Structure 1
Amino acid sequence: MRGDLADRLRQLAFRFPVEERRTLDEFLPAPCNEAALALVLAWPAWPAHVAVVSGPEGSGKSHLLRIFQQIADAPLWSGPELARDRPPWERIGPQGAVAVDDADRTRDPEALLQLVNAVRERDGRLLLAGRTPAARWELGPPDLRSRLRAAHHVAIDPPDLALLEALLVKRARDRGLDLPPAVVRYLVARAERSFAAPGRLVEALDELSLASGRKVGMEIARLALERAGAGATGEAER
């Protein structure tokens, strides 16, 4: 059966697009992200004009920026696309708020510096997100590095098991998959302990389920662990 299922997966010719809902109601609060969520909800009562949220792939940084965008009427920009193609104050929202995702990947540091200065001059608030703390961003010029060191920084910590289970269920629900509780426990006990693991697992589960025409069960879950590279390390090693 296992070989037949793998063969049917190879015949899968399409995948459905997935639209993830990024609202406050859809955010999954947990001890690892409570400080970052509290920062966003405390706007505009921040200890500095610029705040930075850092965390690894899949940790919810972009989701938090979407929430900030909604509650602060803040334009949301992408770091790699940020450029000096317009005056920086035109990027700031009507309430003095603005956000930049993937700020650590900014290709034009001068554009980011201009935005930081414009926010400070207008007593506004700028929320940045990156994979690592701002002190580790390799961005010039020196004035920008100084501004970033002075920013208020909040890190998203590694997820606990409860959050990993919740993320797995949410990612599956976004794809229209219903995971039995036993399957959720089985996967989380054996998967990599990272924010990215639930997304990779659900993608594999979805593909396997579509290819086989079957609901997700233990057989598909075992194959998904292998396909997602999650390890199947076993509970004894945890």
Structure 2
Amino acid sequence: MARQLRFDLPVRTAHGREDFFVSPANAQAVAMIEGWADWPGRKLALLGPSGAGKTHLAHVWAALSGATIVAAQDLAGHDIPRLARTSLVIEDVPMIAGDIRAEEALFHLHNLALAEGHALLFTAHTAPARWGLALPDLQSRMEGTTAVIIAPPDDDLLAAVLMKLFTDRQLSPTPDTIPYLLRHIDRSFDTARRIVAALDEAALDQGREINRRLAIELVGRLAG
């Protein structure tokens, strides 16, 4: 069978509130994001595994609050007083552990933004106590931040995540594809992301639609 022509079509990730599926696994996190005006100390740590929806919820909150989103690893290159003039999402805070310049930037940003009456949202995979930040004052401030966890997905949430991942890639799997994947892949957001990417590539390489048969072949091959 001839291969399909391959085009580098963009993956258009949807980050609107209407695109975020609420289930028992993430309902508390969604409630905290929507109730952000009542955060203790005007700050929150949003925790969860890779692909859990932290970035999506961060964009939802940014739209609600007018916040700016910045990666923790980029803080050392920013004008901190200017950045502190708005509410902020600081993504992947543990990535700067041991980077003194970045940690100092976050420490000053934390203090300035709160002093100006703004709110802060931090994202990470694990609880603040495990971030391993080198500056004791910064680590203590992070540990004093209220945290909410996005739990591992239930069936409804994992199905919605799979469908969203397909939609972001402009793909339309047959109706029997997602029910098969729910029964046969590891129950994690990261696995869902990897399997959708693999199905996309396999369908292009083989000139086939994304269906249950292709999913069976791919899951079996990856498991082996």
Give the length in aligned residue pairs: 220
Q: Which amino acid aligns with 1:97?
A: S
Asked if 1:124 is matched to 2:114, the reply is: no
Q: 1:42 matched to which residue of 2?
A: 35
1:88-107 equivalences in 2 (<5 Å): 88-93=80-85, 96-106=86-96, 107=99
Task: State the TM-score, normalized to the length of structure 1.
Answer: 0.85
Which moved further from structure 2: 202-211 or 55-64?
202-211
Per-residue CA deviation, residues 105-160 of structure 1 (Å, 9 max, x unaligned), is 12411111111111221232100001111111011211111111111111111111
- The CA distance in 1 between the partners of 2:25 and 2:89, in whole Å, is 22
Task: State the TM-score, normalized to the length of structure 2.
Answer: 0.90
Asked if 1:62 is matched to 2:55, the reply is: yes
Unpaired runs of at least 5, structure 1: 233-238
- The CA distance in 2 between the partners of 1:116 and 1:54, in whole Å, is 18
Between the aligned residues of both structures, percent identity stands at 32
User: As a proportion of its length, which structure holds more helix?
Assistant: 2
For 1:44, what is the secondary structure of its paired residue? helix
Q: Which amino acid aligns with 1:18?
A: V
1:160-179 equivalences in 2 (<5 Å): 160-179=154-173
Task: Evaluate the alpha carbon distance shift between residue 140 and residue 84 of structure 1 in structure 2; reply closer, same or farther with a 3 A threshold.
Answer: farther
Report if the CA contact (8 A) 1:50-1:116 is conserved. no
1:111-190 equivalences in 2 (<5 Å): 111-190=105-184
- The CA distance in 1 between the partners of 2:197 and 2:28, in whole Å, is 29
Task: Evaluate the alpha carbon distance shift between residue 183 and residue 158 of structure 1 in structure 2; reply closer, same or farther with a 3 A threshold.
Answer: same
Q: 1:223 matched to which residue of 2?
A: 217
- The CA distance in 2 between the partners of 1:175 and 1:84, in whole Å, is 33
Q: 1:52 matched to which residue of 2?
A: 45
The alignment's C-alpha RMSD in Å is 2.1
Which moved further from structure 2: 58-67 or 75-84?
75-84
> In the alignment, which of 196, 202, 207 is matched to residue 213 of structure 1?
207
